[in-house]
Amino acid sequence: MKFRNFLLIAILSWFMSACAPVGTDVSPTEDLAQNTTPTGETPMMKQPLITTMYTADPSAHVFEGKLYIYPSHDLDHDNPGTNDGDQFDMEDYHVFSMESVQSPLVDHGEVLHVRDVPWATKQMWAPDAAFKDGAYYLYFPARDKDHIFRIGVATSKSPAGPFTAEPEYIQGSFSIDPCVFVDDDGQVYMYFGGLWGGQLEKWQTGEFDPNGTEPVATQAALGPRVAKLSEDMLGFDGPAQEISITDENGQPITAGDRSRRFFEASWVHKYNGVYYLSYSTGDTHYIAYATSESPTGPFVFRGYILFPVIGWTTHHSIVEFDGKWYLFYHDSSLSGGVTHKRSMKFTELFYNPDGTIKPIDP
C-alpha cells in the first residue's frame, strides 16, 4: 500500500509538471527571481503571527520602543464574494504588539467597533495609526449611511487603545486604505485610495459618481490621493491631491499596465532621504514601489517588493525597528486559500546599495 501511494504521488507530480504552461511571457516574478532577499529569518518570519483569528492589512509602527501592529479583522464566515467586496465585512479592530521580532505577539483586544462609530455602517477595512503630542490616532475607512466609503479617526492616550471615534468622518475624505506618514519636519500626510470596491474611480470629478469607471487602457492610471493633516490630526489641511506615478522616462503609468499601475494599499516610508511609495497592483497581485524626492511626488516606478501571495488581495506596511527593516503583509495560507480569511505575517526587508529594494518571495 505504501508503494502504491508513493507511485501515485510520483505520477501526479509528473503530470502537474508536464501540464505547466510553456512559452509564456516572462513575468515580473520570473524576471526578478534571482534577486530575491537572502535567508537568515527568525522562526516567526513568514508564519502567521496569530492563529486564533484572521487578520489582514497589517500597519506596523514603533511606539514606546515596541512594535505595534494595527490590522483589520477578517470574520470567519463563508458568505459569497461580490465586486463591492461584501465578503470583507470586518466590523472591529484589535491592536497587537511585540517587544522584539522574536517575542510572542500580544493581543490587546478589541479597541474599536463599528457600533461605536456614529457615522459608519459597515466594512471597517485597512487602518493605520499615528502619534503626535501625547496622543495616538487610529485612521480607518468604513461605509457611511449612503454606502460611500469615508475615512474616520479615533483617539487614545495609549498605542494599545481603546480608541474613541470622532462623531463625523474626515471632511473631504473618500475611498479606503489610509496611510499616515510623519515627515522629518513634523508635517503629517495621509495617503489613501483604492479601486473597484474602494470606489476611487467614482471620484474622478471631485464628486461621487456611482457610475464612474477606470480610465481606458491607454490613459494614465488613477493614482492614490495625498492630503496634509491639520495640526490637531483630525482633518485635512486643504483638499487631497492625486499622486502621479511615472515610468523611468517620465511617462505616466497607464491604466492598461496592470502589473505596474496603482490599485490600492498605498504605504509611504523614507530611506536615506528618499520617499518610497509602495502599493498593491490589485488583479496582478504584486506589491510594487516607486520613489520620489518629494512626499507628494511625482513618483518613479522602481520595481517590486513582494511577489503574489496565497489569496487575491495583498497589503503591507514597512517599518524600521532595532536597526533593521521589516515588511508586514498578509496571505490566506492559514485558511487554505480563502481570500477573505487572511493572516498577517512579516519578514525582513533588504535594500541594494543603490537604494532599490530586494524583492521578496513569500
Tell which residue, 66, 76, 156, has the closest CA to residue 105: 66
DSSP category for residue 160: T
Residue 296's pLDDT band (cuts 50, 70, 90): very high
Strands 241-242 and 225-228: antiparallel
Residue 264 is among the residues annotated as catalytic for this protein: yes
The residue from 128, 201, 257, 264 that is catalytic is 264
Tell which residue, 172, 280, 162, 270, has the closest CA to residue 226: 172
Residue 254 CA to residue 261 CA, distance in Å, equals 7
pLDDT at 42: 66
Instruction: Summarize pLDDT for 184-231 with one digit per residue, the tens.
Output: 999 999 999 999 999 999 999 999 999 999 999 999 999 999 999 999
pLDDT of 286 higher than 60: yes
Question: Diameter of the chain by CA atoms?
Answer: 72
Before 215, cis peptide (omega within 30)? no
DSSP string over 270-336 = EETTEEEEEEE-GGG--EEEEEESSTT--EEEEEEEE---SSS---EEEEEETTEEEEEEEESTTTT
Tell me the C-alpha to C-alpha distance, in Å, between residue 219 and each of 1, 196, 198, 265, 321.
60, 17, 20, 21, 40
In degrees and rounded to multiples of 5, residue 308 shows phi and psi of -55, 140
Residue 156 CA to residue 22 CA, distance in Å, equals 55
The residue from 57, 128, 201, 348 that is catalytic is 57
Q: Assign domain 55-349 to its CATH architecture.
A: 5 Propeller (2.115)
pLDDT at 178: 98
Percentage of the chain modeled with pLDDT above 70: 88
- Extents of the domains making up the chain: 55-349
Residue 23's pLDDT band (cuts 50, 70, 90): very low
Tell which residue, 111, 106, 105, has the closest CA to residue 91: 111
